[in-house]
Every structure is written in structure tokens, then in C-alpha cells.
Chains A and B, each alone.
Chain A
Amino acid sequence: MAETTPVEPSDAPKMERWGTRLGVILAVMGSAVGLGNFLRFPGKAAQYEGGAFMVPYFVALLVLGIPLAWAEWAMGRFGGCKGYNSTPGIYRTLWRKNPLAPYCGVLGLLVPVVIYMYYVFIEGWCLAYAWYMLTGQLTLGKDAAEYGKFFDNFIGSGSNGLLVAQHGTLAPAVIFLLICFVLNFALIFRGISKGIEKFCLIAMPMLVVCAIIVLIRVLTLGTPDPSRPDLNVLNGLGYLWNAHTTNKTFLESLANGQMWLEATGQIFFSLSVGFGVIITYSSYLRRDDDIALSSLTSCAGNEFCEVALGGMITVPAAFVFLGAAGIAGKGTFGLGFVTLPMVFEMMPLGRFVGFLFFFLLFLAAVTSSLSMLQPAIALLEEGLGIGRKASVALLGFITLIGSLFVVYFSKGLIALDTMDFWVGTVGIFILAFFQVILFGWVMGLRTGVEEINRGGTIRVPYFVGLVLKFVAPLYLGGVLVTFLYQSFTAKEGNYFLTLRDSRDAQLTVAFIVIVAILFLLLIGQSVKRWQKRELMAEESP
């Protein structure tokens, strides 16, 4: 059971709050909806015979995803009521007995900030491709190799420094990166209610409308090439949703352990649990604001975008024009930035539909990247007592260095991939595992469930607490250990071997460590400040 007697900061600036309930729901939903919903999910579902994939997918959603989101919302609002918005402050409030608790919050800062460094680069690709679609600069014919070459040149994957050595001119990828960078920081500077909330209230409905228009176009494609009647929309949907496309039965397909791991990972990353974002966002709620229904709504919204929209657009569209061979083995970037531009080029009204598709990816990316900045802003403001202008400038400087690092080490996207594996995957698993232990075993079952239900429009049953205390840590721990073992023994794409052999990967990990140390120093300063303030409050009559 948590000791909950921290002194609320008396000299702290007036706390920011969300303006509307729908605003916070759409902001959390926006944080969760990203490229993974429209590119990664359909790719994974098709890879594992879609139909069968949905069984572990929904099991993971109900057992792990939704309960973990409730836990994170509850811990965030709990900490926010005590006057803290950053993960170090919130962990310190929840685990008073442990002096190291705030330092565990370093992951809650490192994960979103480092992910932001490369995510904003990808965000720039989406904006660029939307622009290129609109202006016809992606009219490259019907040869996939041309689109691959265009993409490789655009991101400078040939060798390091390609994007910065352009004889005095900025490479297009860098220009679009800077546009996204400025947009993100302009919105974050306006604050929670006037910046993030207002943007998400406009961007999320716009994203759904764009996706529905693209979906209608895809579902009405019929059989574009009469000489290939097998390449039609229904077969495209079947490629994704049929339960057994091979000789295996449905039950045999379900016995695939790797599929369970991938489905759990997809749910986990898609809902943005363990990012350190939800806990910060929910800390701006009032004491009796609903979180039970709000959390469920943002999870449901994310799932709607992923299953009902993402699952019906990407793969069927690609199948209709390219067949199964054009989709199989394509990664997220390959499908999104090589295959799909060619598909849009072959599609009637394709240029406009392609623009809408990349624009919706851009909107999804902005609402996600915005959320990644807030945790660090919260620490800088409440821990160091600096104003919004200074905290935005400081974080802008740190993340700009990181993004330029990713831009420079572009050969084979080594810096981006290394950050994504060590922070964007391993770091998230560890942070989520820590948070579920914090909720179930430190905050306590009864306190935790009561916290979820306080002010709730719906009532979360007590057994959800039991799931969070006993099932979720085992489930999550098992997935983490299996994932690390598989990554360690993998013959291809082994990041442990890459780290041993590649100087660029070593530099990237060194950069991550430096950022982590910087955050640890900031947490140390913040703890001193909080202790001093509490001491003064106790001494005053």
C-alpha cells in the first residue's frame, strides 16, 4: 500500500488541466494511433494468416492491453492530484519508502524522448510523401525498384551523412523534418489544453474521415485488371482475414507460439502502454474526473483505427494490384513507402487517395510525437522550476541533436533501428513491467481498483485488479524474456550482434546512455528541490 503523504508544492505554478473530457480521450487516442495501426498491424496479421492472428490479438487486448491502460491512467491521476506530472514525481508519490523510485522514472522520460528523436524523422517522410502525391512527384511507373530507389535516396540510406552533404542545400527529408519539428514544438509550447488538446480535437476526427474515404476507395476497386480476375478486393480481404490460407487447420495455426508473441507485442505497442505518455497525460486530470470509461474509449478508438480501418485498407489495396507476392516479406517501411506509392499510382483517383493516406499517417504521427514531448516538459517545469519557454527550448535543443544524429547515421537506417530496438522495444517492455508491479504490488490492489473507479462513469470489476497483480506481470515477464531470447539467438536482424560489430550502433547506444545520464542528473536535482520544499512545508505552522 502506498504511503500517500507528500506535500503538495505550494510555490508551484498553477497546474495545467485538460479542458474537456473528449479532449483528453482524443489526445490519448492520438498518442496511440500511429503508423503501426495502418502499416504494422495489417502486415503482421497477413503474415500470420489474419484470422488466426486475431485470437491472440484480442486475448492480449483484454488481458493485458486494457487493464494496463487502466493502471497507467490511475497512477497518473493519483500522482497528478499530489501535484506531480512527471514519471519521477509520480513514482516518488506512489513509492515513498523507496528513495530510488524517482530514479526509476528515468525510463518514463528516456523512452518517449528518444523515440521522438527518430519518430519525428518518419513523420517528415509522411508529410513529404503526402506532398509528393499531391504534386505528382511520385509518378514513377510500375516498377517497384524505382520506388525503392526513390525512397533510399530520400532517406539517404546509401551511406552516412548523405542527407547533410548536399553542397549547401538542405535535403528534402531534412526540410520536412524541420517543418514537423517546428510544428510539434509550437503546439507543445501552447500547453496541454490550448496546444495538444485543441490540435487532437481537430486532427483525430480528420484522420478518421481521411481513413474512411481511403477505405471506400479501396473497397470499391473491384477487379482492376480483367486479365487477372483472381486479383480482386474480396481475395485481398481474404488474404488478410482467412483463417487458414495454408494447409494448416485453424487450431494448428493457433498453436504457433511466435504468433502469440507478435500479437501481444502489436497490442502492447499499439495502445502506447509503457511509453510514459498515458501516465503523464492522465496526471492533468482532476481528482474526480472519470478514467474508467475514458481509458476504455481511447483503447477502443485505437482498436477501431487499427482493425476496422488499418486492417481493411493497406493489404487489400496492395493485393488487388500486386498479388500476394507484392506484399509478402515487406516490412513496415517497405509496405508504406515503397509498395503503397506504386499501388496508388496504379489506382484510379490514386494520387488524391495517396495524398489522403499519407496525410492521415502524418496526422497520426503528429498526435503521437506531441505526446512524447510532454513527459520531459513536465519534469523540466516541476522539477527544475523553469517556465514553459525555457523548458521547451531546452528539450528542443536536446531532441534536435538526437534527430540530427539519426539523420546523419542514415546508412541502412542504423541509428533509427538501434534506437527503436533498445529504447522503442526493450525499454517499453521494461517500463511497462515496472509500472504493472508498481500498480499491483506497491500501490496495492484495493487502492488501485478504487483509484480506477473513483469518479468513474462505468465500474471496473475487482478481478481486473487481480489480473493486473498476478496475470499481467507473468504474461508481460514471459513475453519480455522470450522476446529477448529470440532477439539474442536470431540469425537475421540480431541487434546484439549488430551492437558488437557496428561502430555506428555502438555510437547510437552511447548517445542513448548520455541522454539517460542527463535525465538522471535532472531527476537528482528535482528530488533535492522536492525534498527542500517538503521540509519547508513541514516547518511552517
Chain B
Amino acid sequence: MNAGGWTILVLSVGFVTFLFAWCIYKVLTAPAPGEKLHAQPGVDTHDRDD
């Protein structure tokens, strides 16, 4: 195993492992769709309907 081989192995394996770990972290920590907060203009309280 030469230096080039080590470099490519570390970069390749490191990249896919980091990407997968980051994605899983984001998936597990992101709020579920129902928990998303709506911005003020997006909320219609219907209080001016009358």
C-alpha cells in the first residue's frame, strides 16, 4: 500500500462515512413535518372575516 493508495482510501472512505453520518444526524435532529413553525404571514386567523 503506497502513499497514493492511503490518500485515496482515506479520502474516499472518509468522504462517504462523513456524508452518511452527517445525513443521519440531520435526519434524526430535524423536526418532523408537523412540528414546523409557520411564519406570521402564513397564519390566517380569520379574525377579519366578519
Residues in chain A within 8 A of chain B (CB atoms): 21-22, 25, 50-51, 54, 58, 234-235, 237-238, 241-244, 250, 286, 288-290, 293-294, 296-297, 300-301, 303-304, 306-308, 311-312, 455, 457-458
- On chain B, the residues within 8 Å of A296 by CB distance are 19, 23
Q: Among the listed B9, B24, B28, which residue makes an inter-chain contact with A241, where contact means beta carbons less than 8 Å apart?
A: B9
Known: A300-B16, A308-B17, A458-B26. 16 other contacts (CB 8 A): A22-B28, A58-B15, A237-B1, A238-B2, A241-B8, A241-B12, A242-B5, A243-B8, A244-B4, A288-B33, A290-B33, A293-B30, A296-B19, A297-B20, A301-B20, A303-B16
Which 3 pairs from chain A and chain B are nearest by CB?
Answer: A238-B1, A242-B5, A297-B23
Can you report 12 A-B residue pairs in the complex whose CB atoms are below 8 A from each other? A51-B8, A58-B12, A238-B5, A241-B6, A242-B5, A243-B2, A243-B8, A293-B27, A303-B16, A308-B16, A308-B17, A457-B27
Of B6, B19, B28, B30, which contacts A300 at CB under 8 A?
A: B19
Contact partner of B12 (CB less than 8 A), chosen from A54, A242, A288, is A54
Instruction: Tell which of B22, B30, B33 has the most Cβ of chain A within 10 Å.
Output: B33
B12 to chain A, nearest CB (A): 5
A290 with B30: CB separation less than 8 A: yes
Report B49 CB to chain A, min CB distance, Å: 25
Give bound CA distance, A296 to B6, whole Å: 27
**Interface pair A457/B26, CB less than 8 Å apart:** yes
The CA-CA distance from A21 to B24 in the complex, in Å, is 11
Q: How far is the CA of A50 from the CA of B9 in the complex (A)?
A: 9
A304 CB contact (under 8 Å) in B4, B5, B20, B28: B20
B43 within 8 A of A: no
What residues on A are CB-neighbors of B24 within 8 Å? 297, 301
* CB-defined contacts of B39 to chain A, threshold 8 Å: none
A286 to B13, CA, bound (A): 34
Q: Taking the complex as formed, is B32 at the interface, i.e. its CB lies under 8 A from any CB of chain A?
A: yes
Across the two chains, which residue of chain A brings its CB closest to B28?
Answer: A22
On whether the beta carbons of A303 and B19 are closer than 8 Å, the reply is yes
Contacts A297-B20, A304-B16, A312-B13 known; A234 to B1 CB distance under 8 Å? yes
Known: A307-B12, A458-B26. A250 touches B17 (CB 8 A): no
Measured between beta carbons, the chain A residues less than 8 angstroms from B15 are 58
Pair A293/B23 contact, Cβ less than 8 Å: yes
Whether A54 contacts B8 in the complex (CB less than 8 A), given A21-B32, A235-B1, A241-B1, comes out as yes
Residue of A nearest to B34 (CB): A288
Q: How many A-B residue pairs have CB under 8 A?
A: 85
Q: How far is the CA of A250 from the CA of B3 in the complex (A)?
A: 13
Q: Measured between alpha carbons, how far is A311 from B20 in the docked complex, in Å?
A: 16
Q: Which residues of B contact A297 (CB under 8 A)?
A: 20, 23-24, 26-27
- Which residue of B has the minimal Cβ distance to A295? B23
A residues less than 8 Å from B2 (CB atoms):
238, 242-243
Contact B20 A303 (CB under 8 A): yes
Distance A312 CA – B4 CA, assembled complex (angstroms):
16
B14 to chain A: closest CB distance in Å? Answer: 9
Cβ of A103 to closest chain B Cβ, rounded Å: 35
Residue on A nearest B1 in the bound complex, by CB: A238
Contact A300 B23 (CB under 8 A): yes
Q: Which residues does chain A contribute within 8 Å of B16, judged by CB atoms? A: 300, 303-304, 306-308
Contacts of A304 in B (CB 8 A): 16-17, 19-20
Residues of B within 8 A of A303 (CB): 16, 19-20
- Closest CB-CB distance, A107 to chain B, in whole Å? 30
Q: How far is the CB of A55 from chain B (nearest CB, A)?
A: 9
- Asked if residues B20 and A51 are in contact (CB atoms below 8 Å), the reply is no
Task: Give, as a whole number of angstroms, the nearest-CB distance from A93 to chain B.
Answer: 22
A54 to B4, CA, bound (A): 12
Known A300-B20, A308-B17: A289·B8 in contact at CB below 8 Å: no
Q: CA separation between A25 and B22, bound complex, in Å? A: 14
Contact of A286 among B1, B9, B20, B33 (CB under 8 A): B33
Residues of B within 8 A of A22 (CB): 27-28
